[in-house]
Structures are given as structure tokens and as C-alpha cells.
Amino acid sequence: MIRLLKAAVAVLVVVLSSVPALAQAADAVQALQQYERRVLAGDIAEYTYTVRVGDGPYDQIGLHRVVRETSAGQPIRTERAVFLAPGDIWNFRAAFLTGANPLPVFLAGQNVDVWGIDYRWTRVPGNVTDTSFMQSWGLEQDASDLGVALSVARFARTQNGNPGKLFLLGWSRGGQIGYAYLAGEGQGAPGLRHVEGFIPVDIYVKTDVPQLQAAACVRQQNSEASIAAGQHANPVGGLLSLLGMLAQIDPNGPSILDPNLTNRQAGLLVGQATFALLGGLEPVPAYHFTGGVFDANGAPAGLLYANEAELFAFEAAASPFQPNRELADADALTCGTASLNLGAIHVPVLYIGAGGGFGTFGNYTTTLLGSTDVTSLVVSKVPPAQRLFDYGHADLFLANDAQQQVWQPLLDWVNAR
């Protein structure tokens, strides 16, 4: 593996350094010579790399690869590759490797080469008190970091004898970052494009619902106010992590969120009534991570589609901080105070939505693309009037039937292209 990567570096430094936009990727590829490997299941392993993308102490991203190995312990050659970009709060492992048989393992078992990113802000420790370095960490930076990660993955695959381009899956905020990246890539030289097809999961950039657009404008204003007050990092991830951990270790104890709830109920609340934590500014009605049921007093009582232990593990793995600049930038796009050239996106698109998440609200953005090959898959279990009990934003990855409802159709779409 190391010999192969050294050979790849020698070639890539020459090729990439001649293109200013990719010179950073040439340096990043060298980081692949150092990695952590762990076996996930059978002959499927995860490789984790740290890629420096700047001079600051936290200017580094994580790069992950989940792939089947040969009997000699080398990644197999694959025709297909999917790159996974997580969204708010969670890094790659938390978003996509939670559970006994997660999506990357499923795809790798079908001979798909799976890659993914940890944004630089997910790697900032919770004990950091001065977050002023996050002042300019916006959506454009995450899109740029995604481009570096895609560059490294693409050329590493090419040097291993694999076709170069990848399908990009962006979940939640990762979908918005994916749209931003592709709007730029679509205006660049064809030979420097890394994405073969795009899978935005349960998200929109633009909405044709005035109330939802207005909520985005208020969210943007709130984030800008926090930045103006010197609060550059949003700490909600730290709170969700604590709630998840308390639900795991002391489920029957009184919750710090509300003493009338147990820690288990508070952990469930985060999943099945996420909108209650958003101050009336949720991006869609009754927005929630996981569909669930409530007791006679209206308190969360259990989940409909996922395992609550996996939900609590998912919550506990949340990253402590997220840049307010990124949140403001994203909401500016929805509000209309900023714009993307969505018409520059021409790759095939599969939109996947959850009936209790963004659901069909995510379809409108796809109508603004230059793509002519657009497919929509919205998983819904109940009528729209009961969306509080429908498949949630995270059920797409955590639900017991996610493989049948989401992952296999996703794989079929990739195979067809």
C-alpha cells in the first residue's frame, strides 16, 4: 500500500502542481502515506487519513475510505466509487458508520469504493475556548475542502487502476455543500471535474414556500448577530452529545434539558421532535431525525423505525462546534441574499428525501439545475398530515429497513449510470 502511494505521489505532484487550483491536492495526496486502518466487517476495512489544508492548528480535514480488501490486505479495484459528505454537527464516522451494518459497509460489500470527509470544524476539541479562528469558516471553505478531498480520492483511485470519477452523496448540510461545490466545478474545465453524479439527501438550497424562505432569513440574521457579538462557533453539537451520553449511561435520571423528562426521554426528544429545539425556525414542518411515538402526556415514548440505542450513540458522537459563518452562508442562499449558479450543475442527480425530514420540499432545488437526468426518491410511511410520525432525517441511515428503502435503490441508481 505504501509503495503504491509513493508512486502515486511522484506522478501527482508533477501533474497537479501545474494546475494552481489543484496544487493543494498534490500536497494532500502525500498525507495518504500515513493512515489508520481498522477492520469493520469480514474483508471490509476503513482507512483514515489526516489531510492538512492550511497553516493553522485546526486547518486539517479527515479523509476516510471504506473498501473490501484482497486476501493480501490491499484495497480491491472497483469500477464504482461513492464519496459521502456529512452535514451539521457530525463527522463521517458519526453520520455514516453508526449501527451494526451501516451504509458504507453495505456499499463496500457490493464492491463500491466508499470515501468520505470530516470537515475541519469537526476536529476542533470541545475544550477550545478561543474560536476566533472560525470567523471565516464558511460554506465556501467547506466546499473547497470537499474539492481537495475529492481530488485526493479521485487520483488515488486512478493510480490504483480504477476509473477516476466518483458519485458524490451529500446528506443534510453536506448536500448544500455539495451543491455549492458542483456549482463551481460545473463552470471549470471538464478535465478537472471529479464528480460523476450527485445524490443530495434530505436537503434543499432553494424553496418555493414563502414561510420556509422567511424562516431561513431569520436564521441568517441570528447567525450574523452571533458572529457580530464574537460568537464564531455554534455549540449545539456539544449539548446534543451530552444528551446522547446521558441517555446511554443514566437513562432514568432527570434531564438537564427539562427535569420533567428522563435522560432517555430527552435523548428521544432530540430524535423524534427535533423541531422543538429550533425555536420555531425549523426548515420544514415537524422536522425530526427519527420517527417516534409519544405517551399520553406528549413525552417521547419510543421510535418507530430505528433502534434507540443507535440514536443515542449517534447523538453522543456529535462534534462540539460548528462555525456560525457556515450556518449564515447556507441560510443566505435559501433566503435569497446570496446565490449559487445551480444551472451550472449538469451531472445526473438522485434526490433522496424522508417524509418527516425535508421530503418533497427538497425537489424544488433539483428543478433549478442544468441536469436533465434527475430522479427523486422520497421515503414516506404515513399521509402528509401525519408527518410527525413519518420517516425522519436520520432514519435514512439508522432505520431498520433503510437498506431496503434507501440503500439498495441508491445502489441501483449508481449501477445504472
* DSSP assigned state of 13: H
Say yes or no: 236 and 308 in one domain.
Answer: yes
Closest by CA position to 139, among listed 381, 263, 324, 378: 324
Say yes or no: 177 and 47 in one domain.
Answer: yes
Closest by CA position to 305, among listed 238, 375, 396: 396
- Map grid coordinates 413519518 to a residue: 390
Instruction: Answer whether residue 247 is part of any domain.
Output: yes
Structural domain ending residue among the three candidates 272, 295, 323? 323
Please give the residue range of the domain that contains residue 149: 2-206+342-416
Say yes or no: 355 and 400 in one domain.
Answer: yes
Cell numbers representing residue 239 in the block: 449539548
Element (H, E) at 383: none
Say yes or no: 116 and 41 in one domain.
Answer: yes
Instruction: Answer whether residue 69 is part of any domain.
Output: yes
Cell numbers representing residue 286 in the block: 415537524
Closest by CA position to 194, among listed 153, 159, 161, 160: 153
Instruction: Answer whether residue 333 is part of any domain.
Output: no
Say yes or no: 306 and 379 in one domain.
Answer: no
Other beta carbons less than 10 A from residue 34's beta carbon? 10
Instruction: Answer whether residue 334 is part of any domain.
Output: no
Say yes or no: 202 and 221 in one domain.
Answer: no
Cell numbers representing residue 102 in the block: 451501516
Instruction: Answer whether residue 388 is part of any domain.
Output: yes
Say yes or no: 226 and 355 in one domain.
Answer: no
Instruction: Answer whether residue 77 is part of any domain.
Output: yes
Q: What is the CATH number of the domain that holds 62?
A: 3.40.50.1820
CA–CA separation, 315 and 18 (whole Å)? 43
Q: 32 CB contacts (<8 Å, ≥6 apart)?
A: 5, 8, 9, 49, 63, 152, 156
Structural domain ending residue among the three candidates 261, 292, 323? 323
Residue 83 CA, chain-centre distance (Å), reads 10
Closest by CA position to 391, among listed 358, 346, 355: 355
Please give the chain's pLDDT, 417 residues, in tens.
333 333 333 333 333 333 444 455 555 566 677 899 999 999 999 999 999 999 999 999 999 999 999 988 889 999 999 999 999 999 999 999 998 889 999 999 999 999 999 999 999 999 999 999 999 999 999 999 999 999 999 878 887 677 779 999 999 999 999 999 999 999 988 878 899 999 999 999 999 999 999 999 999 999 999 999 999 999 999 999 999 999 999 999 999 999 999 999 999 999 999 999 999 999 999 999 999 999 999 999 999 999 999 999 999 999 999 999 999 999 999 999 999 999 999 999 999 999 999 999 999 999 999 999 999 999 999 999 999 999 999 999 999 999 999 999 999 999 998
Say yes or no: 94 and 109 in one domain.
Answer: yes
Say yes or no: 116 and 13 in one domain.
Answer: yes
The answer to whether 391 and 234 are in contact (CB under 8 A) is no
**Model pTM score:** 0.92
- Map grid coordinates 502515486 to a residue: 8
Q: 311 CB contacts (<8 Å, ≥6 apart)?
A: 244, 267, 268, 271, 289, 290, 303, 394, 398
Say yes or no: 311 and 347 in one domain.
Answer: no
Say yes or no: 265 and 385 in one domain.
Answer: no
Structural domain ending residue among the three candidates 274, 292, 323? 323
Instruction: Answer whether residue 350 is part of any domain.
Output: yes
> Strand 44-52's sheet: what is its strand order?
36-41, 44-52, 60-68, 112-118, 80-85, 166-171, 195-201, 349-354, 374-379
Cell numbers representing residue 342 in the block: 445551480
Q: How many domains is the chain built from?
A: 2
Say yes or no: 135 and 264 in one domain.
Answer: no
The answer to whether 120 and 58 are in contact (CB under 8 A) is yes
Q: What values do phi and psi take at 295, rounded to 5?
A: -85, -175
Instruction: Answer whether residue 332 is part of any domain.
Output: no
Cell numbers representing residue 4 in the block: 503504491
